[in-house]
Amino acid sequence: MRKLLLYILCLAYWAVFAQNPFVDSLKQTLLIAKDDTNKVNTLNEIAKQNYFLQNPDSVFKYSNNARILAEKISYKKGKALAHHCMALFYLAAGDFSEAIKNNQISIQLKKDLGDKAGMCASYQNLAQVYQAQGNYTEMDNCCAAAEKIWEELGVKRKIADISDYLGQAYYLRSNFPKVLECYFKSYKIWKSLDDKKGLSIATNNIGLTYHILGENKKALDYLLQSLKLKEELGDKKEIGDCYNNIGLIYSTKEEAKSALEYHFKALKIRNEINDRKGMTYTYNNLGQIYLFLGDDSKALEELLKSLEFGKEIDDPYIRAASLGNISLIYRKQKNYKEAENYSKQCLDLALDKNMLSIIKDAHEDLSIVYEQTGRHAEALEHYKAFIVARDSISNEENTKKTVRLEMNFEFEKKEAAAKLEQEKKEAVAAAESKRQTIIIWAVCSVLILVIAFAVYAFRSYLQKRKANEEILSQKETIEEKQKEILDSIHYAKRIQTALLPSEKYISKILNRFNN
pLDDT digits 0-9 by tens, 138-158? 999 999 999 999 999 999 999
Task: Work out the average pLDDT over 31-53.
Answer: 77
User: Among residues 260, 331, 247, 262, which one has the least CA distance to residue 296?
Assistant: 331
Q: What percentage of the chain reaches a pLDDT higher than 70?
A: 79
Q: What is the pLDDT of residues 295-352, one digit of tens each?
A: 999 999 999 999 998 888 888 888 999 999 999 999 999 999 999 999 999 999 989 8
Mean pLDDT: which of 23-27, 219-223, 415-419 is highest? Answer: 219-223
Neighbours of 322 (CB within 10 A): 29
**Measured between alpha carbons, how far is 483 from 245 in angstroms, rounded to an integer?**
115
Tell me what pLDDT residue 191 has.
93
How does DSSP classify residue 502? P
Q: Which residue has the higher pLDDT, 22 or 244?
A: 244
Task: Work out the average pLDDT over 432-460.
Answer: 77
Alpha helices in 194-275 (DSSP H): 196-212, 216-233, 236-252, 256-272
Task: Work out the average pLDDT over 156-167.
Answer: 92
Q: Which residue has the higher pLDDT, 297 or 404?
A: 297
User: Among residues 153, 105, 111, which one has the least CA distance to residue 125?
Assistant: 105
Q: Which residue has the higher pLDDT, 204 or 7?
A: 204
Q: Is residue 250 part of a domain?
A: no
What value, to the nearest 5°, has the Cα angle with vertex 136 and ends 134 and 141? 140
Q: Is residue 66 part of a domain?
A: yes
Tell me what pLDDT residue 418 has.
60
Q: Is residue 354 part of a domain?
A: yes
Task: Work out the average pLDDT over 69-81.
Answer: 89
What is the number of residues in the chain? 515
Give the DSSP H or E segment for 135. Answer: none
Alpha helices in 354-375 (DSSP H): 356-372
Q: Which residues constitute the domain of residue 40?
A: 21-153
Task: Work out the average pLDDT over 463-475.
Answer: 72
Q: What percentage of the chain reaches a pLDDT higher than 90?
A: 40
Q: Is residue 234 part of a domain?
A: no
User: Among residues 279, 338, 337, 331, which one has the least CA distance to residue 305?
Assistant: 279
Tell me what pLDDT residue 8 has.
32
Q: Residue 16: pLDDT above 50?
A: no
Task: Work out the average pLDDT over 357-361.
Answer: 90
Tell me what pLDDT residue 7 has.
33
Tell me what pLDDT residue 404 has.
52
Q: How would DSSP label each residue in 19-62?
A: --HHHHHHHHHHHH--SSHHHHHHHHHHHHHHHHTT-HHHHHHH
| CATH (domain of 32) | 1.25.40.10
| Least confident range of 38-52, 138-152, 178-192, 321-335 | 38-52
Q: Which residue has the higher pLDDT, 353 or 110?
A: 110
Average pLDDT across the chain, whole number: 81
Q: Is residue 383 part of a domain?
A: yes
Tell me what pLDDT residue 438 has.
81
Q: Is residue 422 part of a domain?
A: no
Last residue of a domain, one of 366, 393, 420: 393
Q: Residue 6: pLDDT above 60?
A: no
| Region class of 235: left (phi > 0), else alpha (psi between -120 and 50), else beta | beta
Last residue of a domain, one of 377, 393, 409: 393
Q: Which residue has the higher pLDDT, 307 or 52?
A: 307
Task: Work out the average pLDDT over 178-203.
Answer: 93
Tell me what pLDDT residue 453 has.
74
Q: Which residue has the higher pLDDT, 492 or 319?
A: 319
Its pTM stands at 0.60
Task: Give me Rg for the CA atoms of the chain.
Answer: 47
Q: What is the pLDDT of residues 227-261, one digit of tens each?
A: 999 999 998 999 999 999 999 888 765 688 889 99
Q: Residue 10: pLDDT above 50?
A: no
Q: What's the pLDDT band for 31 if we cut at 50, 70, 90?
A: low
Q: Is residue 426 part of a domain?
A: no
What is the crossing angle of helices 136-153 and 116-133, to 10°?
A: 160
Q: Is residue 226 part of a domain?
A: no
Tell me what pLDDT residue 395 has.
66
**Measured between alpha carbons, how far is 306 from 157 in angstroms, rounded to an integer?**
39
Structural domain tally of the chain? 2
Q: Which residue has the higher pLDDT, 451 or 30?
A: 451
Task: Work out the average pLDDT over 54-76.
Answer: 84
Last residue of a domain, one of 153, 179, 203: 153
Q: What is the pLDDT of residues 272-294, one digit of tens each?
A: 999 999 999 999 999 989 988 88
Q: Residue 444: pLDDT above 50?
A: yes
